Amino acid sequence: MFKKRLIIIGVIILFFALIYTLIPAHAFLSYATNNYRWNEHNIGISGAQIKDLIFDPNHNGTLYLVGSKGVYKTTDNGDTWVEKNTGLPASKTGINLLLDSSSDILYAVSYDAAGDQSFVYKTVDGGDHWVFASSGTSIPGYDGTGSKSYLSGATLESGSPQTLFAGTIIGGWHGGVFKSSDGAATWTQIAGSNIAGSGIGNDAWPLTIDSVNTNKMFAGTAYDGVFISQDGGYHWAHCAGTTGQIYALTIDPTDSNRIYAGGDYGLYLSSDAGSHWTLANQISGIVKAISVNPTNSQIVYLGIEGKGLWKSENYGASFTNLGSTTITINKIAVDQASPQNLFLATQSNGVYSSNDGGQTLILKNNGLPITVEARIIKSDSLGNLYAAVWGKGFYGSQNQGKDWELLSQATDILDFEIVPSNPQVIFYSGTSVMKSIDNGRNWQVLFTPSSDYLWALATDSFNPQNLFTAGNGGKMYKSSDNGQTWTQKMSFAPNGRVMDIQIDPTDSNRVYAAAYGYFWKSEDGGETWVQKTAGLTGTYANRGRYLAIDPLEPNIIYYDTQYGGIFRSDDYGENWNKLNLALGGGSPILNNIIIDSSDHAKIYVADYLAKRIYFSADKGENWETFEALGLPESLDALYWTWQDNIEPARFYAGFFYGGIYAFENYIADLTTSAVSASDLNGSPLEREDEVEYILNLVNSGWKDGDQISIEDNFSSFLDFVTGSIELDGEPLTQYTLNGNKISLALAKVQAKTNLQISLKYKVKADATEGGIVTNSFSITSEEDPAGIQFNSPNLTIVIVDNQPPTGSIAINSGSAYTTSVGNNILSLQATDDYSPEAEMQMMIANTSDFSNTTWEPFTASESWTLTPGEGTKTVYVKYMDSHGNVSPVYSDSIIYDPQVILTSVTAAGLSVDVDAGVYETMQRKPVFSGISDAGAQIIIKVLTALIQVILTADDDGYWSWIPAEDLSIGQHLVEISAQDMAGNTASLKFYLKIATSSTENQKNTDAANDPAQLPKTGWVGFSLIFGIISVTGCILGWLIYRKNSRV
């Protein structure tokens, strides 16, 4: 045999990180098919919020971090991160981590499921399982009632792994310092606002302990700078010269006299164990993180809010910025074994690493959750996609969001507009109105109102020089010179935030606005405004949010609200009707409205808190819930939805703490290099040939730890042999093969997209000639059990079939006899390895030469007529498969027996041949005999004597019987019947008279038949009975008389 190779190139957009949907999936009336679902599209957008990060000194390459989505662990220096949240609360919002390096015990401070308390949790197995370890950290409120735990972090005492301290940063509640001496099994408050004389209030975090003198501790506070304790945390004193909130405290590991404190006012330094403090003049900004090189303490690193990483090489006397000028760093971790290796935990950029002391930084976010706020997503007329990510910047994508590029660090965008006639020109509003002429890479300030956030922006497609903006202050501003000058329109006075401005696409004189103050309308290009409220009924109808104008019927306008539902106007906003959007229950906060570009009767609206999109196919009269398959439950609020300009079936959604998702066809293309077996090396596909399928899967968002299962759905013609997997050309070995199913876990896949899977099969030895192998592959993940499926080209198996079918035949289910020539039922069976019964034929005959018979389609049952005449009959059959192979002849026989005989019957030597005749004999034990079929069952009944016997005729059919006892004198009725093996029956009845002599017999007969004798016998009986009754009556009468006479 020879090998063949079938290469199937399936360019497939797979969707992993798919767990169950946020809502029950309703039918998506417009585009819902099995090929569409939501897929995360955040490549290029970094955004994990990390609060703390620590090295594990006992395990090279192992680090732990905690943030807004819980605890994650890496064992390969940050190349991949794996979630470690089993046992932690549902909120998984972590604050702080600490590691007991002597025993691999890890502690975390994390919020509870409700998010309003924080507790200590503990793990002894590297984060695989966490348990509650915060008994005693709850304390009452100021009024003495209630009990809550508000820990902000915990730390270990050096050299005493069972001793831990925890502190609080709290407002409106008691708090302070807590201590555990038993490895967090129990806690006791030792200082704080409710402990008189302790010297510290309810704010006591961060905490750090002198490794030389463990009684000396330092605490940061929310308002008053640094405090010091000299007795192990029981009593505290303020450190003069420090003030404001302190975020970071570090003691030099080589000199405990040198202490650093970072806070609201910069960096505080002490070189005398905390007795005196000075403020580093060079540092301006809020210092959030401090770390000292453990082997060269002259090197000090700072993280300054919004200003990146800074480095000092002279104990903090001066600092140099290392280039990361915009990120906010919450923690700097230095590798004790290799101090050049740094890891940075950032507020919104995830994790950075450096192997050169911070000179170059590399993002290490593979496997970490995205926690950015994607507020606005729009595309231009060329299909380029843009996204405003709050606090991160302005991003662009040229491949439908599969990859994003940070175009600029415009972090305050609340709305933006792309000029349709010149898509390089983009305006945005936030704290100012800004303009870009290079697709958002650089921006020019156009207008900055005083103390206002500008939520709404509109550009006039007819007159591009006209711009509108409005915001929190409820003021409408217009520019008629491309943003150079602005004027406030005083007639616009909603007295609340303006969320949206829309200009009629058919008449730019009509301008509309949605505000916390109802719907507003201008018919003179925004110069004058009028509030329109007719029909806007309900408590929250005044909280306008977004608008949409039907481009084909501009008289139709949609207006949605916060809590008040959605309305439609059919007369340019003069009158409104509330639409019946009741899905999901409650009153939703609705975001932007989309009118389908391919069918203006279809509209979509986003629900902010419920994280749903609602869909109507009839202008809002009836609603369905848009398909949610692929949206993880962990996503927070839904900010924005957008329909792709080029591909109307494609949608985008922006989430709070979730980034960007696209609703898309995951099968982008499927091509083949071979369409049938004959194309493979020019030869047919034969038994035991090998076939190789190669699947090239292209994914825009692989994540570490994705659990993938690939299972073929072949017909029975192929056996799975083996498989191999490569990711961007690198072999993957961590997978399992189970039959025809491959399971693998992805790792180290950041920025890698091509997964090539080779699957090898062998044609079975008994595969059917001409059989069609209909191949499909199912690709699923643990988070997406529904998975996807795609088909490869069919293969035709060409096999020479020279094997005849086999079969059988049975007459009347195998009976030995039949009583009829016709209507005999033949049970037929035929099997063939390559031909189904429907393709087979049969030939049936009463003779072995099959003369005068023809082939006919196979049937499993046939009514058949035997040849005439009694005796053994044989029926013959043979079968032929679809390839002309003829089976051996099969046969079955049956005995045709139409009747049973009962002849030569004698009784006491008298020939009995007349049914119901009377025969006389003097023999008291007469002999009965006769002839029947061999083996027939003979039943003899002497009815008057209650005798019945059953005999079996011998091989000659002869039978006989002699009564065991004498028959009584008189006449007997005798019945003799016979039944042969075919079930045929025959019978004979006659009378047999038994007498001692002929004279006596005659007398007895005469007496018995003399009618004169019968009355006499009857009269005697009657007389006897009458006499008995008379006597009985006399006795009863006498007894009654005697009784009455006594009375």
Environment class of 998 (CB within 10 Å of its CB; exposed 0-12, middle 13-18, buried 19+):
exposed
Helix (H, G, I), strand (E, B) or coil at 209: strand
Cβ neighbours for 581, distance < 8 A, ≥ 6 positions apart: 565, 566, 588, 605, 614, 620, 623
What is the per-residue DSSP string for 961-1020?
Answer: E--SSPPPSEEEEEEEEEE-TT--EEEEEEEEEE-SSHHHHHHHHHHHH-TTHHHHHHHH
Which candidate, 710, 708, 698, places its Cα nearest to that of 671? 698
Residue 445 lies in a domain: yes
CA 909 to CA 926: how far, in whole Å? 8
Task: Say if residue 857 is in the same domain as residue 964.
Answer: no
Predicted pLDDT of residue 787: 56
Which candidate, 115, 120, 205, 208, places its Cα nearest to that of 168? 205
For 351-376, write each residue's pLDDT tens digit.
999 999 999 999 898 888 888 889 99
Task: Say if residue 821 is in the same domain as residue 907.
Answer: no
CA 520 to CA 788: how far, in whole Å? 48
The CATH number assigned to the domain holding 883 equals 2.60.40.10
Range of the domain at 475: 426-531
What is the per-residue DSSP string for 851-863?
Answer: TT---EE--SEEE
How many folded domains does the chain comprise? 6
Q: How many helices (H) and strands (E) does the chain have?
A: 2, 86
Residue 255: CB atoms within 10 A of its CB come to 14
Find tokens 């959604």 and name the residue: 653
The CATH number assigned to the domain holding 517 equals 2.120.10.30
Residue 815 lies in a domain: yes
With contact defined as beta carbons under 8 Å apart, do 627 and 647 qualify? no
CA 599 to CA 620: how far, in whole Å? 13
Task: Say if residue 79 is in the same domain as residue 205.
Answer: yes
CA 106 to CA 121: how far, in whole Å? 8
Ranges of the chain whose pLDDT falls below 50 = 1-34, 667-683, 700-704, 748-751, 998-1026, 1034, 1038, 1040-1041, 1043-1047
Task: Say if residue 81 is in the same domain as residue 222.
Answer: yes
CA 873 to CA 845: how far, in whole Å? 11
Task: Say if residue 17 is in the same domain as residue 121.
Answer: no
Task: Say if residue 79 is in the same domain as residue 222.
Answer: yes
Helix (H, G, I), strand (E, B) or coil at 476: strand
> Model's pTM, two decimal places?
0.59
Predicted pLDDT of residue 746: 55
CA 153 to CA 866: how far, in whole Å? 99
CA 908 to CA 990: how far, in whole Å? 13
β-sheet with 342-346: strand ranges across? 329-334, 342-346, 351-354, 362-363
Q: Which of 207, 226, 245 is the last residue of a domain?
A: 226
Task: Say if residue 1003 is in the same domain as residue 1016.
Answer: no
Q: Per the structure block, which two tokens stand in for 743?
A: 């399971």
Residue 884 lies in a domain: yes
Q: Which of 209, 226, 243 is the last residue of a domain?
A: 226
For 71-122, write each residue's pLDDT tens digit.
999 999 999 899 999 999 887 788 888 888 777 899 999 988 777 889 999 9
With contact defined as beta carbons under 8 Å apart, do 88 and 112 qualify? no
In b/e form, how buried is each residue of 834-852, taking b as 16+ CB within 10 angstroms? bbebeebbbbbbbeeebee
- Cα angle vertex 27, ends 25, 31, to 5°? 115
The CATH number assigned to the domain holding 207 equals 2.130.10.10
Predicted pLDDT of residue 786: 55
With contact defined as beta carbons under 8 Å apart, do 377 and 371 qualify? no
Task: Say if residue 892 is in the same domain as residue 923.
Answer: no
The CATH number assigned to the domain holding 699 equals 2.60.40.740
Residue 326 lies in a domain: no
Predicted pLDDT of residue 248: 97
Predicted pLDDT of residue 632: 78
Residue 739: CB atoms within 10 A of its CB come to 9
434: left (phi over 0), alpha (psi -120 to 50) or beta: beta
- Cα angle vertex 19, ends 17, 21, to 5°? 125
Residue 1041 lies in a domain: yes
Task: Say if residue 102 is in the same domain as residue 191.
Answer: yes
Residue 83 lies in a domain: yes
Q: Per the structure block, which two tokens stand in for 129?
A: 């399982």
Residue 624 lies in a domain: no
Task: Say if residue 1017 is in the same domain as residue 1004.
Answer: no
What is the per-residue DSSP string for 587-608?
Answer: --BEEEEEE-SS-TT-EEEEET
Q: Which of 842, 867, 896 is the last residue of a domain?
A: 896
Residue 719 has φ and ψ, to the nearest 5°, of -110, 135
DSSP code for 805: P
Task: Say if residue 971 is in the same domain as residue 826.
Answer: no
Helix (H, G, I), strand (E, B) or coil at 898: coil
Residue 636 lies in a domain: no
Beta bridge partners of 405: 396
Residue 940: CB atoms within 10 A of its CB come to 20
Task: Say if residue 790 is in the same domain as residue 853.
Answer: no
